Structure 1
Amino acid sequence: MRVLVTGAAGYLGYAVVAALAERGHEPVAFVRDAAKAPRHSARTAVGDLEDVASVRAAVRDVDGVCHLAARARVRESLSDPLPYWRTNVGGTLNLLEALTDGDAPAKLVLASTAAVYGTPETQPIDEDSPIAPANAYGATKAAADLAAANVAASGQLGAISLRAFNVAGAVDDCTDRDVTRLIPKVLAVQAGLADVLAVNGDGTTVRDFVHVADMAHAFVLAVEACTPGRWRAYNVGSGRETSINDVLTAAEQITGRPVPIKRNPPANEPRVLLADSRRIRDELGWQAPNSDLSQILSDGWKALTSAYAAPE
C-alpha cells in the first residue's frame, strides 16, 4: 500500500515512516523541505497542509494517509490559539477535501490526542468518555476528528483517529527534541543540554507513557484496517501508571547521575491521566511491547547522547 505521511519530518513521523516500510508498505513523506524526509521514505512529496494545490498533488496516487502534521503544544495553544485552528483544523479540511476528490474511497488515520477528553474524573479514560477539551490544542484535534467522522459517514472514505497519551522514546537515532515535555527535558538535563528540571509539586502526578515505536505500529495497523464509510477512535497508551518521581528514578539509574531539580508549587493540572486501550488491543490486535519506562528512557538516552550530548 502506498501511504502518504504528513508531518513525516517530525519525531513521530520518522517512526511511522519506518514502521510502514518495515511492514512492506511504500511510505511517501509529505514535508516542507525535501532534505528533511526520513531515510526510510520510498518517495518524497514537498508541500504544506495550508497549500491546497500541494495537498491535492500529494494524495493523487496514494492508497491512504497517516495524518500527523499539526501544532501540538498545549500551553502555546492557550496563549496563541488561532494558528492551531488554522493548521490543525484548516489543514485537515484541506486534506479531507483532496481525499474525497478521487474515484475510490480513501483510508485516513489521524494523529489525535487524549487532550480531547480534558480532565475526566473517571480513570482510566476510554473512548466513550465525554469530549471536553480544556485548551485549543485539544479542541482543534476534536474538531478534526469530528470532520473526519462526518466525511467517513458519507461513504467517501474510511477514517480512524488514534488518541495518543504521552509518546516518548526513540526509533534509530530519532528522539523527541521538544523539551516542553517531561521525558525529553529530563534527558536533556542529564546530557548537559539544560541546567535543571522544574518539577511542579511533589512529583506524584501520574501519566501514561507509550513508546514511539509502539505508537507507530498503531498507525500501521490502523491504516490497514480503515473501512470505507466508517470512522473509529482508539486510545493508544500503555496503561501503566508512571509518576514524575518514577521518571526521575529511572533516569538516574539509566544515566548514572542524579537529576538536578527545582521544586515549584503544584500546578493546576489533573493528578492522574491513564489510557484504557482495550478497544485497539481487542479490535486491531495492538500491543505495547516496548513501552516499559526503562526501555523508553534507555532508547531516548541512547539516541540523544549519540547526536546531541554536550562534551564531558
Structure 2
Amino acid sequence: MPLRGGRGTLAACEPRGGRLGRILVTGSHGLVGRELVAALEAQGHEVVPFDRRHDGSDLRDVESVARALQGCEGVFHLAAVSRVAWGEEDSALCHAINVDGTAVLLRAALDRSEAPWVVFASSREVYGNPPEVPVREDMPRAPVNAYGRSKRDGELLFEEAMAKGLRAALVRLSNVYGTEHDHPSRAVPSLLWRAMQDEDLLLTGSDVFFDFVHVEDCVKGLLRAAQALREGRSLPPLHLVTGVPTSLLELAQAAVRVTGSGSRIVVQPARSFDVEGFCGNPAQAEAVLGFRPRIGLEEGLGRLRDRLAARGRGPDAFSLSELT
C-alpha cells in the first residue's frame, strides 16, 4: 500500500521489513530532525519530539529524558550544539549538551527494563584533518575543534553503553543540506540564497572541500540503520556520505549555475578552526546497509532553490542562546 505524506519522497523512506514502533527523536526541530519526523509520521508512526526550540526540552534534565523515553522502542539521537562556530563560541555549552546530555540519555536508556535501540548522529568532525581521503570509518579520531571533540566523546560514551548491551549505531554525517530549516550562514544555504539574490558569494577558502549530502538521502540512511538494529544486527561505525569531494569554489560555481545568477565569487581567508577538507568512503554503509546517497549536488541545490523560492525568503535563523 503506498505511503502518503506531504513531504515528497521522504514519506517512502522506510526500509523493508516492518514498521518502527514509538520513536523518540532528540533534535526533532533541526535540519535533519524535521525531515526525519515528517518521514516517520507520514508512515503512521508515533513520534516523541524532543527539542529545546519545540517545547523547552532539555537533554541535560534527567527526569525530562526519562519521561520522553517511556514506551519508546527506539531513539534517533540528533540533538546537539551542531555548528563548529558555536562550539568555538561556547565550548562549555557544547560539551554540556553534546556530551553530558548524551550521557543522560544513555543512562536513561540502560535503566529501562528493555533498553531501546539508539541511532546516534555523529559527525565527520571527529576525524579532524584526516591523513588521507576518502576517509574510512576505522581511521583515527583526532578532532581539531570543540564540536568535533564533543562528538568524539559522545561516540566513546556510546561505545561504553554498547559494551553493556545497548543496541546502537554510530552514524557519521557530513555537510547535510536541503531545506529552509538551516542556518543561513552555513555554506550551502548561504551561497545558494545569495546567488538567488545576485549577491557576492563569499568563500572562506576556495580549495577547502567537503562531502555534501542531501537531507533526503541522510534520512534514508538513518532509517536503514534503525531497521538493522531492529533486526538484531550489530553495526560498525558508518558514514552517510557520497564519496564525492566538492570544493567551496565548485559549490559556489554550482550555485551560480542552478540559479542563473550573476553573482561574483569572492575568496576570503579560511577560519582557523575549520578542517582542511573531508570526503568520506561510502563503501561500508553500502555493504552493511545497502545504502548510498543518490541525489547529486546540482539536483539537490535545485530542490533547495525551489523550496526557498516558494517561501520567498532565505533559510530560518536561530541563535546559540536558544539552546541554553
Query: What's the TM-score once normalised by structure 2's chain length?
Result: 0.83
Structure 1 gaps, min length 5: 36-45
Distance 1:212 1:72 in 2: 15
For residues 22-44 of structure 1, give each alpha carbon's deviation from its aligned partner in whole angstroms, at most 9, with x where no partner exists: 45543222234557xxxxxxxxx
2:24–2:47 contact (8 Å) kept in structure 1: yes
Whether 1:204 and 2:207 are equivalent positions in the alignment is yes
Whether 1:145 and 2:186 are equivalent positions in the alignment is no
Which residue in 2 is equivalent to 1:126? 136
Q: What amino acid sits opposite 2:264 in the alignment?
A: P
Distance 1:34 1:207, change over 3 A: closer
Once the two structures are TM-superposed, the CA of residue 67 in structure 1 deviates from its matched residue by: 0.6
Structure 2 gaps, min length 5: 1-20, 315-324
2:75–2:117 contact (8 Å) kept in structure 1: yes
Whether 1:297 and 2:277 are equivalent positions in the alignment is no
Which residue among 67, 76, 83 is the counterpart of 2:77? 67
1:3–1:63 contact (8 Å) kept in structure 2: yes
Which residue in 1 is equivalent to 2:269? 265
How much is the aligned-residue C-alpha RMSD, in angstroms? 2.2
Once the two structures are TM-superposed, the CA of residue 230 in structure 1 deviates from its matched residue by: 4.8
Which residue among 76, 98, 116 is the counterpart of 2:108? 98
1:70–1:87 contact (8 Å) kept in structure 2: yes
Distance 1:56 1:266 in 2: 42
Distance 2:146 2:208 in 1: 23
Once the two structures are TM-superposed, the CA of residue 232 in structure 1 deviates from its matched residue by: 3.0
Whether 1:247 and 2:251 are equivalent positions in the alignment is yes
2:174–2:212 contact (8 Å) kept in structure 1: yes
Which residue in 2 is equivalent to 1:181? 186
Distance 1:54 1:265, change over 3 A: closer
Distance 2:61 2:271 in 1: 39
Whether 1:162 and 2:167 are equivalent positions in the alignment is no
Which residue in 1 is equivalent to 2:31? 11
Distance 1:180 1:2 in 2: 34
DSSP 3-state at the match of 2:139: coil
Distance 1:140 1:232 in 2: 20
1:167–1:211 contact (8 Å) kept in structure 2: yes
Once the two structures are TM-superposed, the CA of residue 261 in structure 1 deviates from its matched residue by: 3.3
Once the two structures are TM-superposed, the CA of residue 287 in structure 1 deviates from its matched residue by: 2.2
For residues 261-306 of structure 1, give each alpha carbon's deviation from its aligned partner in whole angstroms, at most 9, with x where no partner exists: 332235555544101121111111112112x011111111111122
Which residue in 1 is equivalent to 2:226? 223
